[in-house]
Amino acid sequence: MMKRQSTLTEGSIWKGMLLFALPIFLGNVFQQFYNAFDSWVVGRFLGDTALAAVSSSGSLVFMMIGFFNGVAMGAGVVIARCFGARDYDSMRKAIYTDIAMGLSAGLALTVLGVAFTPTILRWMGTPENVLPQSISYFRYYFFGALFCVMYNIFVGILHALGDSKHPLYYLMISTAVNVVLDLLFVGVLRLGVGSAAMATTLSQGISALLCCIHLLRMDGPAKIHVREIRFHSHTLRTILRMGLPSGVQNSVIALANLVVQSSINSFGSAAMAGCGSYSKLEGFAFLPVTCFAMALSTFVGQNLGAGNYARVRKGVTFGIACSTIAAECIGIVSYFFAPQLIAIFNDSPQVVDFGSRHMRMICLFYCLLAFSHCIAGIMRGAGRASVPMYTMLCCWCVIRVSYITLALNVINRLEVVSFAYPLTWTLSSIVFLIYFLKADWIHTPLEIKN
């Protein structure tokens, strides 16, 4: 079993990476499908106001959960490097520390999310007619925060070991459960917008449980023994050193996007619904971005652990090319079919107009987003997580918020807000390209032993 999982350090580079990335891609398709299905069901059965309540969820959820998922990325890098180097003792310590950290973080996030949801939503400027349903949705969502965090922890472990197939299988099952529960809770029983979050919580719990069972039953040194789950202090410090930059990056970027969302909120519920519908479609458009970024992190981590430096250089070139070309093709299609795509969620003319304008300002620049995420994934795999953190904090946070704050005072139009994304993607791509070509990022030691 362990030999089968080590395909990223041997054999054909393009075949190994594609076979690893394809299940991640399909898994993300299902993930986005059931996120989008929530919006579709709510928009069709509960109306524009309920759709606006759900549509404003992305930035808030990512701000609360993104930090912990970013730290978990650090654990994934450590596990992948140990696996590539066949240092199974250190690998097990990283796995158990990762799980212990996830359990602690998930419980803390549940308390924080339930307690502070109303405060954050008011700070975002959520309209009063949307606020009660937004609070209901988010509170039900955060009751299941532990499931969400643990699912991402387990999937990160499996990906670090080169297994992207089992997470796909479990996500397919949870997607089917989510669809059935959405239709039952919202469409049949009409339990309200909070029931859509309840359906998501239950389906995430099922996927997390299935991943956990697989790790408990698998053969080899990565098998989990519950009694051994605990923090290993030195390993925890290594994980935090690798993961904190990504966690901080995720949270601060999400905070910046909350500022963007609050600017969108100022244009009313129709703009919220239209831009929120776009965000669901954007999730599908970003699939080649996310799957190759994740594949590159694991590929780089495993091969640097094995000392395959020439293989790393060839692999990252292939991954960047695939991701940017695929993302731009999707962007072109999105530009020409924007109204039809937005109307899938809500065919109100005003909602379609806002969503289409927002989409067309952004989608032709997807190649730059793909390039930035690929380089960020490569740097995380190489143990240089601070590079994407500083770059994205500067470009995607400070510059993005400053631009919106200043520009809206001059031109109060939605397109001004929309243009913040291609502007900051361009800047980050330039910085990443310079670093990628100039720095000796490939020779980064990782000290993980006690």
Q: pLDDT for 59-116, tens place per residue?
A: 666 666 777 777 887 888 889 888 888 889 999 999 999 999 999 989 998 998 888 8
Query: Residues 42-50: what's their mean pLDDT?
Result: 79
Burial of 435 (0-12, 13-18, 19+ CB in 10 A): middle
The mean-pLDDT minimum among 9-13, 408-412, 417-421 falls in: 9-13
pLDDT (0 to 100) of residue 2: 42
pLDDT (0 to 100) of residue 3: 42
Is pLDDT above 60 for 57? no
pLDDT (0 to 100) of residue 58: 59
Residue pair 305/82 in contact (Cβ under 8 Å)? The answer is yes
Give CA–CA dist 382/318, Å, rounded. 17
pLDDT (0 to 100) of residue 400: 93
Q: In 218-232, which residue ranges form alpha helices assigned H by DSSP?
A: none
The mean-pLDDT minimum among 9-18, 93-102, 351-360, 399-408 falls in: 9-18
Is pLDDT above 60 for 204? yes
* Number of Cβ atoms within 10 Å of the Cβ of 407: 18
Residue 228 per-residue DSSP state: G
Q: How far is CA 162 from CA 6, 27, 86, 241, 298, in A?
A: 6, 15, 13, 23, 7
- Greatest alpha-carbon pair distance for the chain in Å reads 62
The mean-pLDDT minimum among 115-119, 282-286, 314-318 falls in: 282-286
Q: How far is CA 261 from CA 12, 72, 274, 396, in A?
A: 44, 26, 12, 14
Stretch (H or E) spanning 82:
helix 57-85
**Angle at alpha carbon of residue 391, lines to 390 and 394, rounded to 5°:** 80
Residue pair 304/84 in contact (Cβ under 8 Å)? The answer is yes
Residue pair 352/346 in contact (Cβ under 8 Å)? The answer is yes
More confident site: 54 or 424: 424
- Convert 173-211 to b/e letters by CB count within 10 Å (16 or more is b): ebbebbbebbeebbeeeeebbbbbbbbbbbbbbbbbbbb
Query: Residues 401-429: what's their mean pLDDT?
Result: 93
Q: What share of the chain is helix, strand, coil (3-state, %, to 5)?
A: 85, 0, 15
Q: What is the mean pLDDT of the chain?
A: 86
pLDDT (0 to 100) of residue 5: 47
Q: How far is CA 433 from CA 93, 124, 300, 422, in A?
A: 35, 34, 17, 16
Local confidence band at 252 (pLDDT 50, 70, 90 cut-offs): confident
Closest CA to 161 of 215, 208, 204: 215
Is pLDDT above 80 for 34? no
Under 8 Å CB-to-CB from 96, ≥6 apart: which residues? 224, 228, 229, 230, 232
pLDDT (0 to 100) of residue 444: 67
Is pLDDT above 70 for 387? yes
What are the tens digits of pLDDT across the range 165-183? 899 899 899 989 989 998 9
Which residue in this structure is represented by tokens 């997607």?
Answer: 175
pTM comes to 0.76
Burial of 136 (0-12, 13-18, 19+ CB in 10 A): buried
pLDDT (0 to 100) of residue 419: 95
pLDDT (0 to 100) of residue 51: 75
